[in-house]
Amino acid sequence: MRAGRGGRDRWMVTYADLITLLLIFFLILYAMSSLDERKYSSVVASLQDTFQNPGTGVLDGGDGVLEGKPGAGGSASGAPAASDGPGASSAAGSGGGTGGGAAAGGSAPPTERELAFRKQEEKLAELMGVITQYINANNLGDEIFVQDKPQGIAITLSDRFLFDSGQAELKSGAYPALRQLSGLFRGLGAIVSIEGHTDNTPVMASSPYRDNWELSGARALSVLRFFLEREGLDPAGFQYAGYADTRPAADNGTPAGKQKNRRVEIIVLRQLQEE
């Protein structure tokens, strides 16, 4: 009888254990939710002091992480944090400490691509300067425009400077300017894109060209053939296209806008892009 009664009461042991575990669980939750503000503030202040004050970080003499102030030590380990600019290595080399270590911590030397990009930009800047000087010396500011665009140096020639109305045969008066440009393009080492543009006025019924697409393409081709056949430039350095009236430079709703849209653009393309 006792054994049977003892067996029936075993659930109370399990229940008591469960209640004890629940009590411990809630005590832990309560303890976790209670924050010692004083200890927390002390930890935060210690971390801020470590990261902000020079000379107290992990690296001796290092600069603060949160404040970009130069370190007082001037040692090799503190040099990289001073600057990422081109003058970082020279500034580090002029300070105290070991000169070799400061130079090693400066900016890396330019890559071959960066050097090529700089050389290309120098050539394009020189080209733009020479063309601008030629335009000013010959009073061609109303007929030829030069601009530095993202894709390259764009030389825009008005259609009235190059062609008769509705025609694609070059006028002899345009030869000197084109000859001057061909001399600049010779040995330039860049791709030159020749692009023809028109306004939105349809070609006349008597025109030898079916539409503005053919006219714009024929005008660009005439300029290209001048460079290749008359000046003997390398065909591998050129490309051409006709865009009709799809890329207007001004509003086609005014005569002045139409005149700006009838043009040939000669673009010396950038073949490298800065990383």
Which pLDDT score is estimated for 37? 66
Distance CA 33, CA 243 (A): 71
Cα–Cα distance list, 198 to 56, 69, 163, 231, 269 (Å): 69, 58, 12, 26, 22
Distance CA 232, CA 225 (A): 9
> What's the token pair of residue 257?
């806008």
**Backbone region of residue 123 per phi and psi (left: phi > 0; alpha: psi in -120 to 50; beta: other values):** alpha
Which pLDDT score is estimated for 77? 41
Yes or no: say if 198 and 261 are a contact pair by the CB < 8 Å rule: yes
Which pLDDT score is estimated for 50? 57
Handedness of CA 161, 165, 166, 169 (dihedral sign): negative
Handedness of CA 8, 11, 16, 19 (dihedral sign): negative
- Indicate yes or no: pTM above 0.85: no
> What's the token pair of residue 133?
């000087």
Which pLDDT score is estimated for 81? 43
200 exposure class (CB count in 10 Å sphere: 0-12, 13-18, 19+): middle
Distance CA 46, CA 49 (A): 5
Point out the residues of the chain with pLDDT beneath 50.
Answer: 1, 56-104, 275
Beta strands 192-197 and 238-242, pairing class: parallel
Yes or no: say if 147 and 154 are a contact pair by the CB < 8 Å rule: yes
Please write the tens of the pLDDT for every residue from 41-91: 776 676 566 556 555 444 444 444 334 444 444 444 444 444 444 444 333
Which pLDDT score is estimated for 126? 87
Which pLDDT score is estimated for 107? 78
Determine the residue type at 104.
A
Which pLDDT score is estimated for 57? 45
